Every structure is written in structure tokens, then in C-alpha cells.
Chain A
Amino acid sequence: DAGVIQSPRHEVTEMGQEVTLRCKPISGHDYLFWYRQTMMRGLELLIYFNNNVPIDDSGMPEDRFSAKMPNASFSTLKIQPSEPRDSAVYFCASSSTGGTQYFGPGTRLTVL
């Protein structure tokens, strides 16, 4: 298995632009997680899905952030409009129920 796939690996954009991060979970996994990692705040859980349904989005910082999972093999995290304080590494992770969580390589986002 290729593991969790994220794209792009690096994204540099200007303030106010829309940013879309993509994730393909491991086949057969029914949980998908989006995290944000910064030096100041560490690893933060933004949102997670179970069987493509968003279960808890209480970690989403504000309405500028949205996430979707249209099918079992694809999820997006969108930031619109982006701000410099959104600069971070965003990770996607997937797991089966009760199983080990597997992380993708991350997307390093820089908002200028």
C-alpha cells in the first residue's frame, strides 16, 4: 500500500488566496483526520471523519476553514481566504476503527 498520500507537499500563496489541500487515505480505513502542526501550538486536530461523515470539527479555527470527504478515497481541506497565521504543516491521517493511525507526509503551507 502506498500509505496516506497528500498533495501538494509544499504550497506558497499570498494572503487572501484560496488554498486547497488534498488527501487520499489508506484503502479500507474508515477514519480520516486533519491536523495542523506549528511550533507554537504543536499538533492540533482540526476535524475528523468516520465513513466520510464529519464527526467533530470543533478544532477548525474559524469559518475560513472547511473540509469535505466526498468519498472513501479522497478528502480536501480548504482555506478561503488564507492569512499568514495559517502558515503551518497540515497532516492527514487515516485509521481503521480501533487501529493504528497512519500519517501522510504533510503539506507545508506558507502564506505570504
Chain B
Amino acid sequence: GNSVTQMEGPVTLSEEAFLTINCTYTATGYPSLFWYVQYPGEGLQLLLKATKADDKGSNKGFEATYRKETTSFHLEKGSVQVSDSAVYFCALRGGSYIPTFGRGTSLIVHP
């Protein structure tokens, strides 16, 4: 079956530091890949997505590239802000249209 593995958190960074959150997946076929973000007290919201190999999703300064050869979709941001503190979820969706989520990675950014 499908599965998503994310790096354990929390990830703690200072403001303006570079962020990488690793995500690898197992799936049959060619799934779509997603990053969702959950701010405190809120539901998950889509941050970015990529639907085929080598696609790069980007939004709000975050980027992730669909790497089929390494089955990865790592999330990056060049300069994080305190307001980026949240939990980040990697997810995939195959032919069934039902997403599979990772466990989530908490990001804490200090001023």
C-alpha cells in the first residue's frame, strides 16, 4: 500500500535560517504529492503540490520537487520566519483519490 515517511520533529530554527523537511514515499504508479500546513488551532491547508516527476511546487517561499528516482518530495524554504511555525504534513494521492498523510513535522522558529 501507499505510505509516507517524514522526518521526526520538532525542527527548531532561528529566524532567517534555511529549512529542509524530508519526505519520502512508497506508492504504485504515479501519485500526486502534497505538502499541507497546520497552524495552531486550525485545520490542515494545502501549501503546495506536484503532480508528476520533476515538477516543482511552490508557495509562500516554500518549494518542493517531485523526485521519482529517489521517491522524495522534500520541503525547503530559504529564510524562515516566526510566522512559519506550524506542523507540516507530506501526503500523496494515487488513483483512488484518497490521500495518505505522513505523521507531520513540527517546525518552531525563534526570533
Task: Spell out A's residues near B (CB within 8 Å).
Answer: 4, 31, 33, 42-43, 45, 48, 56, 91, 93, 95, 97-98, 100-106
Interface residue SS majority, chain A:
strand
B residues with CB within 8 A of A? 41-46, 49, 89, 97-99, 101, 103-104
CB-based contact A100/B46 at 8 Å? yes
Q: Is there contact, CB below 8 Å, between B43 and A104?
A: yes
B42, B89, B103: the one within 8 Å of A105 (CB): B42
Given A43-B89, A43-B101, A100 and B49 contact (CB-CB distance below 8 Å)? yes
Q: Which of B43, B44, B89, B104 has the most chain A CB atoms inside 10 A of its CB?
A: B43
CA distance A101 to B49 in the complex (A): 12
Contact check, B42 vs A106: say whether CB atoms are below 8 A apart.
yes
Q: Are A103 and B101 in contact (CB under 8 A)?
A: no
* CB pair A103 B98 closer than 8 Å: no
28 A-B pairs whose Cβ atoms sit less than 8 Å apart in the complex: A4-B43, A31-B97, A33-B98, A42-B101, A42-B103, A43-B44, A43-B104, A45-B98, A48-B98, A56-B98, A91-B43, A91-B44, A93-B43, A95-B97, A97-B97, A98-B97, A100-B46, A101-B46, A101-B99, A102-B45, A102-B46, A103-B43, A103-B44, A103-B45, A105-B41, A105-B42, A105-B43, A106-B43
